[in-house]
């Protein structure tokens, strides 16, 4: 990376971190997935960690992944996300999801994971090369007025995209989101350009779950990061977020 690009990345990240800190969230970036498993295990109201990011059942470490956690002013975990680099050289995402479906299937959604497969998105046939899988994105909210509703999501996603782009230069980044969230435009809040309907099919071709594929090419990522992010620090939305984040601990 050139000195100019390195400086640009540092400036972009520092601005985003200041924005996030202005609404009461302290961020931590890490690559120790034993620590991540411990942090995630403390969230009793969330499903267990998916195998893709669980060091107990998957080879995930600093060589192929990193995570971001956010803590409020009471040091309570209020945000998680992680990304893992997949070497799909000579393999399409379609084949990868077929061969490693146990890593992606939501637990207890199918009677037989061995005979369940994911299908429909056309991009499954074209996504290949060095591919980032972006998952476990969660941002604690308090009702409809919580931080999710006020612009924090795209800021937090930008950090993952910025770091992944500079560290790995991936050909693509993708994620799987539930249909209900996709229909509400979750992919746009995360910063993804493309969104395609997809389904998990069980042993008798019954639909066992509906996850939509959201993805970006390397060019999409660069274009997304060129756009100036929305500011929260000095507007009414920032004040609304601050007012919602602080009571989270008081009530829990």
Indicate which CATH number applies to the domain containing 206: 3.40.630.30
What is the mean pLDDT of the segment spanning 49-57? 94
86 vs 230 pLDDT, higher one: 86
Per-residue pLDDT, 9: 80
Range of the domain at 140: 3-250
pLDDT tens, residue by residue, 167-211: 999 999 999 999 999 999 999 999 999 999 999 999 999 999 999
Beta partners for residue 233, in sequence order: none
Instruction: Please count the structural domains in the chain.
Output: 1
Residues 6+ away with beta carbon under 8 Å from 122: 196
pLDDT tens, residue by residue, 86-111: 999 999 999 999 999 999 999 889 99
């Amino acid at each position: 990376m050139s000195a100019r690009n390195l400086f640009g990345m540092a400036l972009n990240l520092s601005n985003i971190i200041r924005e996030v800190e202005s609404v009461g969230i302290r961020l931590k970036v890490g690559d120790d997935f034993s620590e991540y498993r411990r942090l995630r295990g403390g969230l009793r109201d969330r499903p267990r960690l998916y195998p893709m990011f669980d060091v107990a059942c998957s080879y995930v470490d600093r060589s192929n992944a990193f995570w971001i956690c956010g803590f409020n002013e009471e040091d309570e975990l209020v945000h998680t996300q992680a990304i893992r680099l997949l070497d799909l050289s000579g393999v399409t995402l379609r084949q990868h999801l077929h061969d490693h479906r146990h890593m992606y299937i939501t637990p207890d959604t199918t009677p037989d994971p061995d005979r369940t497969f994911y299908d429909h998105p056309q991009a499954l046939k074209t996504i290949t090369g060095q591919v980032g899988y972006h998952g476990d994105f969660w941002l604690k909210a308090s009702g409809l007025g919580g931080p999710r509703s006020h612009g924090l999501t795209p800021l937090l996603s930008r950090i993952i995209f910025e770091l992944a782009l500079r560290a790995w230069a991936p050909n693509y980044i993708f994620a799987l989101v539930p249909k209900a969230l996709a229909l509400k435009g979750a992919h746009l809040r995360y910063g993804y350009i493309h969104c395609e309907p997809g389904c998990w099919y069980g042993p008798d071709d019954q639909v066992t779950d509906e996850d939509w594929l959201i993805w970006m090419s390397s060019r999409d990522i660069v274009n997304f990061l060129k756009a100036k992010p929305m500011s929260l620090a000095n507007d009414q939305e920032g004040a609304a977020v601050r007012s919602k984040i602080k009571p989270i601990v008081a009530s829990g």
